[in-house]
Amino acid sequence: MKIAIGSDKSGFILKEAVKNHLINSNYDVIDIGTKDIEKPMPYFEVAPIGAKMIQNKECDRAILICGTGMGMAIVANKYQGVYAACVESLYAAKKCRSINNANILTMGGWIISDVMGIEMVDAFLNTEFTQDLEEWRQEFLKKAYVKVQEIENEVFENSL
């Protein structure tokens, strides 16, 4: 699995811990910045890179980290086909995949410790859409996902 990972200055320390964990776990990792804490990139420059990589299928998932995770999620979600979830717990990291089929995980470097961030990333990467859910809920969520994509397509078509 190919993973893009990026941060601004506030998420740099957590990004580095997660990146090292992913590399040691044999993931194909693409660091999209900030690569040098002395030359940080703002969240609104990093998030589009990750979002476009998801759109263009250059990576399977992305992990974006800023101070709260919210700025990264807001910017990434401006791109069609991107479903970025800002999470602050292991439970939410699993559910954003199993329920919402999120393809980008955003976290806050001011909020999440390295140990918790790594656990959340593992949960995010190892959970599939509708995994471990009752059959009726799986059917409902698959239909809901199609409806969300229809809404998204309508919004993007009307904005052109």
Instruction: Point out the residues that are catalytic.
Output: 66
Query: Concatenated DSSP letters for 102-148?
Result: -SEEEEETTT--HHHHHHHHHHHHT--TTTT--HHHHHHHHHHHHHH
How far the first Cα of the chain sits from its last, in Å, is: 33
Find the largest Cα–Cα distance for the chain. 51
Task: Yes or no: say if 44 and 33 are a contact pair by the CB < 8 Å rule.
Answer: no
Residue 34 gets which letter from DSSP?
Answer: -
d(CA 156, CA 160): 7
For the record, the structure tokens of 158 come out as 């009307």
For the record, the structure tokens of 15 come out as 């990004």
